[in-house]
Amino acid sequence: MKKNKKGYFGQYGGRYVPETLIPALEELEREFRRLWKDREFKATFRALLKDYVGRPTPLYYASRLSEHLGGARIYLKREDLTHTGAHKINNALGQALLAKAMGKKRLIAETGAGQHGVATATGAAMVGLECEIYMGAEDVRRQALNVFRMQLLGARVTEVNAGSRTLKDAINEALRDWTTNVRNTHYVLGTVFGPHPYPTIVREFQSVIGKEARRQILKAERRLPDYLIACVGGGSNAMGLFSGFLKDEDVKMIGVEAGGKGIRSGLHAARFAGGSVGVFQGCRSYLLQDRNGNVLGTHSVSAGLDYASVGPEHAYLHDIKRVRYTYATDREALRAFEVLSKTEGIIPALESAHAVAEAIKLAPRLKKSAIIIVNLSGRGDKDVPQVARMKGYNVKL
């Protein structure tokens, strides 16, 4: 993408962190640039994506869903089929290898839904590094199974009780840990957010999604899709998919934020619909904040989208109107969760269900020849107990 100033996408991005971390970010940038060109590193990464993660993931034509909606042909990019069940592993594994190559002894990460925590714990176990995961107390409660999963993988899970006890507080705590242990620790940021170079590194590690999808759709349909749809929390699965098509001007792209209980209710995480430009946790981007510049609490049924800001490259793509950003409410996402389960036998993550919800709205309005690719960024097993509780089933977990 076009950058005006180092680490910027238009006016968004930058490196707004305490001085203690700046040398570590400079080192990270340098080492990433070097290794991302290094044939051996790339070969190792590629081999692991194939044999360990299970890539390429299929691009699946969802015929029953398409027929059910009676419009466009919907393809699902099946990131839910990766090892650990979400796209997060692409980045976590890449950064684990990077950290190992940099001689770091310990990985730390934040996690919201728990998917990035699980992916980082997995990466740490695979390359043989210590691992500590920060997770908001509220998310620990919502995602109990993933907490145990991380522990099983040998990671220490630290519950964060500060602030709103969700993802943003987990990031604050991870940054505090990193500030303290920066000499031997690598911070595996889970999304295209934070101080430069993270938005770029994470996009590069996730770009495999878009590269594969582009090749796969050309093979299946002999043409490019009309629409790409992806959910946007921080925005890494969306950036991964979109980055493969940014130069294809006829491919329209839609990013779906968490509409929670609706924008007017104030209980949502729709940064473009309800936020303004601010500086938060390392970069300048759209932010849900009050008029005094304090960060607002967010709400979403999906822990992975429940965050007050959004990746700076998304902010840029929003402003230049390359990507259209919309939102799906909790209710719409829950409905999509069930529709996909029943029509295709695929239970999506609640995050990904937001993207499916947009496809449900869009597809019937399009011609039957139109093609949509939905990024099915993760599987929904982790969300089943929560959805069951919401529907009044008594599931003990």
Partner 1 sequence: MNRIEEHLSKLKAQGRKAFIPYIMAGYPDVKTTEKVFSMLQDVGADVVELGVPFTDPLADGPVIQEAASVALKNGLTLKRVLSLLKSLRRSYSLPVVLMTYYNPVYKYGLSRFFRDASKAGVDGLIVPDLPPDEADELIEYSRKYRMATIFLAAPTSTDDRIRLVTERSTGFVYYVSITGITGSKIQITREMEKMIKKIKSYTEVPVCVGFGVKKPQEAKRIAEIADGVIVGSSIVKQMTGDLRKLRKYLRELRKAI
Question: 175, 201, 334, 350: which one contacts partner 1 (CB under 8 A)?
Answer: 175
> Using alpha carbons only, how large is the chain's radius of gyration in Å?
19
Classify 13 as helix, strand or coil.
strand
Catalytically annotated residue among 77, 88, 104, 168? 88
Residues 6 or more apart in contact with residue 306 via CB below 8 angstroms: 112, 139, 166, 167, 233, 258, 269, 298, 299, 300
Which region among 18-26, 132-140, 238-246, 255-263 touches partner 1 (by CB under 8 A)?
18-26
Residues 6 or more apart in contact with residue 66 via CB below 8 angstroms: 72, 73, 74, 363
Under rule CB under 8 A, residue 289 binds partner 1: yes
Catalytically annotated residue among 110, 212, 257, 358? 110
Q: How far is the CB of 355 from partner 1 (least distance, A)?
A: 28
The Cα 240–Cα 87 span in angstroms is: 9
Question: 4, 20, 151, 265: which one contacts partner 1 (CB under 8 A)?
Answer: 20
- Cα separations (Å) of 242 from 1, 255, 316, 374? 12, 9, 13, 11
The Cα 135–Cα 171 span in angstroms is: 8
Residues 6 or more apart in contact with residue 81 via CB below 8 angstroms: 54, 57, 58, 379
Task: Check if 110 is active-site.
Answer: yes
Task: Check if 313 is active-site.
Answer: no
Residues numbered 305-334 forming contacts with partner 1, rule: CB under 8 A: none
Lookup: tokens for 229: 């749809």
Catalytically annotated residue among 164, 352, 377, 382? 377
Residues numbered 149-168 forming contacts with partner 1, rule: CB under 8 A: 162-163, 168
Under rule CB under 8 A, residue 295 binds partner 1: yes
The Cα 197–Cα 95 span in angstroms is: 12
Q: How far is the CB of 360 from partner 1 (least distance, A)?
A: 35
Q: In what order do the strands lie in the sheet with 276-280?
A: 8-9, 12-16, 282-287, 276-280
Question: 187, 242, 280, 307: which one contacts partner 1 (CB under 8 A)?
Answer: 280
Given the complex with partner 1, which of 15 and 68 has the nearer CB atom?
A: 15
CB neighbours (10 Å) of residue 276? 11
Number of residues located near partner 1, criterion CB under 8 A: 37
Under rule CB under 8 A, residue 281 binds partner 1: yes
Question: 24, 140, 230, 355: which one contacts partner 1 (CB under 8 A)?
Answer: 24
Under rule CB under 8 A, residue 292 binds partner 1: yes
Q: How far is the CB of 182 from partner 1 (least distance, A)?
A: 6
Under rule CB under 8 A, residue 181 binds partner 1: yes
CA trace torsion 191, 356, 215, 50 (10° rounding): 60
Task: Check if 302 is active-site.
Answer: no
Given the complex with partner 1, which of 170 and 209 has the nearer CB atom?
A: 170
Question: 83, 105, 176, 252: which one contacts partner 1 (CB under 8 A)?
Answer: 176
Under rule CB under 8 A, residue 170 binds partner 1: no
Under rule CB under 8 A, residue 23 binds partner 1: yes
Classify 79 as helix, strand or coil.
helix
- Cα separations (Å) of 128 from 22, 27, 45, 100, 193? 26, 21, 16, 9, 26
Q: Which residues bind partner 1 (CB under 8 A)?
A: 14-24, 26, 162-163, 168-169, 172, 175-176, 179-183, 276, 278-282, 287, 289, 291-295
Residues recognised as catalytic: 88, 110, 377
